């Protein structure tokens, strides 16, 4: 039977399939889970293909980070996944000291980022992980938007020697790229070219931003749409060039507007190209159990809000 195409899969299935592909040729790859292996997608795909390289630590995220660090000391390349809040804020000190400060090659994967935590509600809806992981020296922070980019990010992370944190949407995503997508960790991706306003997005919000840009084009507003898969280190060159061209910038993210993508954009522009910026995302509030539409409307970062913010400039 032919394998389903990548874009027909849930993102977590792409995660598991890509890790299996990597593990075939790279004996250093090991996978860690903290009792969420089915939620992350590695069980049963990876766990049955490579049982000796699959470690379920139980509900013990701090331990998972430490074990990953120990494996990395010995030259392994551990990919450790759990829900975003438990992969970031719960283990912030463990990642800081045992991984980043210790200079260890551990790949941390935060699943179900932001509002995609949906039915688990406020306790599981983490809006800070981009901000706090970005504040950590040595850490590369990624947020891929679709299946092809997820696979590309994983391949890059496996080859890159250094700690990484990646947000991973679990469900199926609209396609933004195709099989031929060439990921660069240094460069933002210009998805639409325009001179009226710069729109910067990452991860889950990029398909919405793309739709908004296309709708605005019909209205006669030309959006320069930058998708940023690597939030740190940030591609300041592309951002500044775009801001110089358009003179106004809107950011949108599935995160708090404090310290994440919008924060990074403001830091760079304030120093290198001060222009008006509007940040869309969650304005310093906790999550709650609700539909996506409700959360978009409450916090003002859905497709209609993106368009309104771009028009307002």
Partner 1 sequence: MSEAFDREEYDRLAAEFRYLITDMICRAKSGHLGGALSLVETIITLYWRVMKVDPANPLWPERDRLVMSKGHAGPVLYVALAYKGYFDKALLGTMNTDGTMLPSHVDRLRTPGIDMTAGSLGQGLSAAAGMAMAARMDQRAHKVFCVIGDGESNEGQIWEAAMFAGHHKLDHLIGICDYNKLQIDGFTDDVLTLEPLRAKWEAFNWHVLETDGHDWDDLYDTIVQAKALTGKPTMILAHTIKAKGNAVCENRPESHNIKVDDQAAYDKYMCALGDIECELPY
Residues that bind partner 1 (CB under 8 A): 30, 52-53, 55, 57-58, 60, 62-63, 65-76, 78, 93-94, 96-98, 101-103
Cβ 175 vs Cβ 226: under 8 Å: no
Q: Which is nearer to partner 1, 91 or 223 (CB)?
A: 91
Q: Which is nearer to partner 1, 161 or 186 (CB)?
A: 161
Q: Which is nearer to partner 1, 82 or 242 (CB)?
A: 82
User: For residue 82, which of 120, 136, 29 has the smallest C-alpha distance?
Assistant: 120
- Residue 28: CB minimum distance to partner 1, A: 10
- Residue 158: CB minimum distance to partner 1, A: 17
d(CA 84, CA 300): 22
Host H or E run for residue 33 = strand 29-33
Strands 164-168 and 197-201: unpaired
Cβ 303 vs Cβ 280: under 8 Å: no
Burial class (CB in 10 A: 0-12, 13-18, 19+), 185: middle
- Sign for the CA dihedral angle at 90, 121, 211, 146 comes to positive
The alpha carbon of residue 115 and the mean position of all alpha carbons in its chain are separated, in whole angstroms, by 13
- Residue 200: CB minimum distance to partner 1, A: 34
Q: Which is nearer to partner 1, 29 or 125 (CB)?
A: 29
Q: Which is nearer to partner 1, 91 or 280 (CB)?
A: 91
Q: Which is nearer to partner 1, 63 or 304 (CB)?
A: 63
- Residue 51: CB minimum distance to partner 1, A: 12
Angle at 274 between CA 137 and CA 185, to 5 degrees: 40
User: For residue 204, which of 274, 101, 112, 129 has the smallest C-alpha distance?
Assistant: 112
Q: Which is nearer to partner 1, 99 or 265 (CB)?
A: 99
Distances (CA, A) of 219 to 5, 15, 60, 233, 311: 35, 38, 51, 34, 10
- Residue 298: CB minimum distance to partner 1, A: 36
Strands of the sheet with 164-168, listed across from one edge: 54-56, 29-33, 77-83, 107-111, 164-168, 140-142, 230-232
- Residue 99: CB minimum distance to partner 1, A: 10
- Residue 70: CB minimum distance to partner 1, A: 2
- Residue 69: CB minimum distance to partner 1, A: 5
Q: Which is nearer to partner 1, 53 or 278 (CB)?
A: 53
Cβ 110 vs Cβ 127: under 8 Å: no
- Residue 221: CB minimum distance to partner 1, A: 50
Q: Which is nearer to partner 1, 57 or 310 (CB)?
A: 57
């Amino acid at each position: 039977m032919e394998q389903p195409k990548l874009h027909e899969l849930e993102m977590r299935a792409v995660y598991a399939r890509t890790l299996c592909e990597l593990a075939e040729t790279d004996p250093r790859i090991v996978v860690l889970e903290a009792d969420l292996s089915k939620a992350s997608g590695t069980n049963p795909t990876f766990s049955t293909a490579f049982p000796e390289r699959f470690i379920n630590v139980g509900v013990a995220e701090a331990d998972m980070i430490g074990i990953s660090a120990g494996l990395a000391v010995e030259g392994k390349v551990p990919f450790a996944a759990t829900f975003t809040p438990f992969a970031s804020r719960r283990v912030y000190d463990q990642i800081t000291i045992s991984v980043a400060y210790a200079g260890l090659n551990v790949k941390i994967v935060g699943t179900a980022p932001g509002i995609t935590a949906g039915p688990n509600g406020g306790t599981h809806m983490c809006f800070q992980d981009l901000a706090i992981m970005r504040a950590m020296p040595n850490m590369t922070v990624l947020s891929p938007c679709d299946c092809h980019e997820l696979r590309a990010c994983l391949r890059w992370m496996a080859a890159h020697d250094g700690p990484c944190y990646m947000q991973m949407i679990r469900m199926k995503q609209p396609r933004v790229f195709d099989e031929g997508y060439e990921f660069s960790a240094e460069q933002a991706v210009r998805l639409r070219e325009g001179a009226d306003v710069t729109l910067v997005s990452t991860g889950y919000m990029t398909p919405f931003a793309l739709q908004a840009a296309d709708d605005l084009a019909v209205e006669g507003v030309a959006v320069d749409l930058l998708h940023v898969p690597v939030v740190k280190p940030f591609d300041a060159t592309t951002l500044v060039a775009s801001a110089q061209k358009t003179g106004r910038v809107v950011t949108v993210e599935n995160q708090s507007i404090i310290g994440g993508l919008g924060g990074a954009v403001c830091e760079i522009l304030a120093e290198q190209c001060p222009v008006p910026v509007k940040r869309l995302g969650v304005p310093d509030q906790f999550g709650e159990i609700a539909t996506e539409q409700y959360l978009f409307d409450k916090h003002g970062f859905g497709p209609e809000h993106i368009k309104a913010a771009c028009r307002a400039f």
